[in-house]
A and B are shown apart, each in its own frame.
Chain A
């Protein structure tokens, strides 16, 4: 049973209390963007074997969205944070790097496009 702590209400919620919302931090596209970009946004997924950032809703609790960082191989949970966060918090990334030195977190290296803007 997966157990995640809701960062909004603080409840330690079991998987039966939560609803999955898929890969987090997707880059959204809109009118005027290409078919390739829409395909990437809507369908192409990392689906990583290892560290994964994903959206969850505390459906049978406070109802709010949050993001969980966890390992899809060991089911270890690294942490959760509110969905209104543009990129994983730096302290969480540091903690994950310490535990999983070989994890590919290159999307979150200093100069991501979002930071560069």
Chain B
């Protein structure tokens, strides 16, 4: 892999850009790998990357049914934060945030990480109490967050209407280190680094079956033939139940559509990320100037990557009260992804009832921010067969034992 640098740009500028190489190879699948990862979204690619980087396991394939990053990773609104309530969440999400802070350098790929600051508005007294509690919890966890008053919110977000009639802004939970990153670049950067380590990323190759013998995995059947593997990591977000079904077990997951939309590009008007959980809407401004808007999930099981219009309407209606200036903006695009929802709104990183099969799923509406930390923890789980400290609390057994990591109250809505 040729490194990207200012010298490379200069060199290529002088020779009409003829020397750039493809960012990753597109090889034919081999008949066997030590580890097969199903799903080339951010989490699958990061799992492969840290398997190679932290454990020296490079005989790895990442198998993808579409194009890499074309699932939720390429459909998300890229909010990154680590201000969760429960300790296990704070640990893994903050690990992810720390890795994001150095990711462009680590991958030699600009993921455009932009720690521009993030606000979660409190618009009811219940939320004021909830977020103050989160600030205290974050203090104990060593995650820097603060409670800010309405005047400070207005200072950070001049376009906000803090005294709307129905949902006045009563303050906010502020994480200065939060922000956004470029979603495709995260997938592409990991893919390029994996390919450089000799791993095979195989796109347009749907996994159609999982072969097991004596209670352990043997290999997979794909659109491009059978592939054997020593270990199998299933990292397919909204399709987790389908893959688990192929291996003969069920997961505590429901797949639902989550939508997002972007406006026409406008001049810079908001340089922080604002989430408004009570009204189920959030917004940030992309580098291109588009207002990036998201809301809550459509409320029923759905594999269509489309949602219902009334959810878009709900989201926009709520945001217009909070940001009156967006009322005349035209919306350019709207789309959906299939998110993998667990009952406690926390992810699953776990061994499974089948030997040498591991799952990483349940990130639901909020897993983009977790990609590096999740890959880090998942690689350790796959390499060693047992979870390290970051993944230990996120096992499937928590549902049997009633040890939930309840983030549904704290997060309220999407991520």
Known contacts being A35-B400, A36-B400, is A2 close to B308, with CB within 8 Å?
yes
Q: Which of A5-13, A45-53, A79-87, A91-99 contacts B (4 or more CB under 8 A)?
A: A45-53
Is A16 an interface position by the 8 A CB rule? yes
Q: State A11–B254 Cα separation when bound (angstroms).
A: 28
Contact check, A75 vs B254: say whether CB atoms are below 8 A apart: no
Q: Which residues of chain B are within 8 angstroms of A73 by Cβ–Cβ distance?
A: 303-304
Does any Cβ of A come within 8 Å of B27's Cβ? no
Least Cβ distance of A77 to chain B in Å? Answer: 11
The verdict on A20 contacting chain B, using a C-beta distance below 8 Å, is: yes
> How many angstroms from the CA of A42 to the CA of B342 in the assembled complex?
12
Do the beta carbons of A43 and B343 come within 8 Å of each other? yes
In the complex, A110 has a CB within 8 A of chain B: no
- Asked whether any CB of chain B lies closer than 8 Å to the CB of A72, the reply is yes
A42 to B399, CA, bound (A): 9
A20-B299 Cα distance, complex, nearest whole Å: 7
**Interface residue? B252 (CB, 8 A):** yes
Contact indicator A1/B310 (Cβ below 8 Å):
yes
CB pair A47 B308 closer than 8 Å: no
Give A6 to B239 CA distance when docked, in angstroms: 30
Alpha-carbon distance A2/B302, docked complex (angstroms): 11
B144 close to chain A: CB less than 8 A: no
Nearest-neighbour CB distance to chain B for A9, whole angstroms, equals 21
Q: Is there an interface contact between A39 and B399, defined as CB atoms closer than 8 Å?
A: yes
Q: Are A52 and B399 in contact (CB under 8 A)?
A: no
Judge whether A44 and B301 touch: CB under 8 Å: no
Known contacts being A1-B308, A49-B242, is A75 close to B250, with CB within 8 Å?
no
A45 contacts B400, C-beta separation under 8 Å: no
Q: From known contacts A39-B400, A54-B300, infer whether A45 and B308 are also in contact, taking CB-CB under 8 Å.
A: no
> What 0/1 readout, one digit per residue, does chain B (244-283) give for beta carbons within 8 Å of chain A?
0100001111110000000000000000000000000000
Q: Is the CB of B254 within 8 A of A45?
A: yes
Q: In whole angstroms, what is the CA distance A54 to B254 when docked?
A: 12
**Distance (whole angstroms) from the CB of B376 to the closest CB of chain A:** 27
Most buried by A among B239, B245, B309: B245
Q: Which of A35, A39, A42 has the most CB of B within 10 A?
A: A39
Taken together as a complex, chains A and B put the C-alpha atoms of A47 and B302 apart, in Å, by 9
Is B284 in the interface zone, CB < 8 Å from A? no
A75-B338 Cα distance, complex, nearest whole Å? 14
In the docked arrangement, what's the CA distance between A72 and B255, Å?
9
CB contacts (< 8 Å) of A45 on chain B: these are 241, 250-254
Closest residue of chain A to B242 (Cβ to Cβ) is: A49
Q: How far is the CA of A16 from the CA of B300 in the complex (A)?
A: 12
Contact A15 B308 (CB under 8 A): yes
Q: How far is the CA of A74 from the CA of B401 in the complex (A)?
A: 36
Q: Please report the C-alpha to C-alpha distance between residue A74 and residue B301 in the assembled complex, in whole angstroms.
A: 11
Neighbouring B residues of A54 by C-beta, 8 Å: 300-301
A53 to B: closest C-beta gap in Å: 11
Knowing A43-B343, A44-B251, say if A72 contacts B303 (CB, 8 Å): yes
Partner of B252, one of A15, A35, A44, A72: A44
Q: For residue B400, which residues in chain A have a CB less than 8 angstroms away from its CB?
A: 35-36, 38-39
Distance of A60 from chain B, by nearest CB (Å): 13
How close is B92's CB to chain A, nearest CB, in angstroms? 21
Give the interface centre of B253, B309, B400 by most chain A CB atoms within 10 Å: B400
CB nearest neighbor in A for B340: A47
Could you tell me the distance in whole angstroms from the C-beta of B259 to the nearest C-beta in chain A? 13
B-contact 0/1 string along A43-70, CB 8 Å cutoff: 1111111001010000000000000000
Give the Cβ gap from B257 to chain A, nearest Cβ, in Å. 10
User: B241 near A46 (CB under 8 angstroms)?
Assistant: yes
> How many angstroms between the C-alpha atoms of A45 and B361 in the bound complex?
14
Find chain B residues with CB under 8 A from A2 CB.
Answer: 300, 308
- Residues in B with CB closer than 8 Å to A39 are 399-400
Q: How far is the CA of A22 from the CA of B399 in the complex (A)?
A: 17
> Is A47 a contact of B300 with CB atoms below 8 Å?
no
Give complex CA distance A43, B400 in Å: 9
Q: A36-B400, A43-B343 are contacts. A72–B251 as well, Cβ < 8 Å? A: no
Besides A48-B241, A72-B304, 17 new A-B residue pairs in contact (Cβ under 8 A), listed by A number: A15-B299, A15-B300, A22-B254, A35-B400, A38-B400, A39-B400, A44-B250, A45-B250, A45-B251, A46-B245, A46-B250, A47-B254, A49-B239, A49-B303, A72-B255, A72-B303, A73-B304
List chain B positions with a Cβ less than 8 A from chain A.
239, 241-242, 245, 250-255, 299-304, 308-310, 343, 399-401
5 examples of A-B residue contacts, CB within 8 angstroms: A16-B310, A20-B300, A45-B251, A45-B253, A54-B301
Task: Show the binding face of A for B, using Cβ within 8 Å.
Answer: 1-2, 15-16, 20, 22, 35-36, 38-40, 42-49, 52, 54, 72-75
List 6 A-B pairs, minimum CB-CB distance, nearest first.
A43-B252, A47-B241, A44-B250, A39-B400, A43-B399, A49-B303
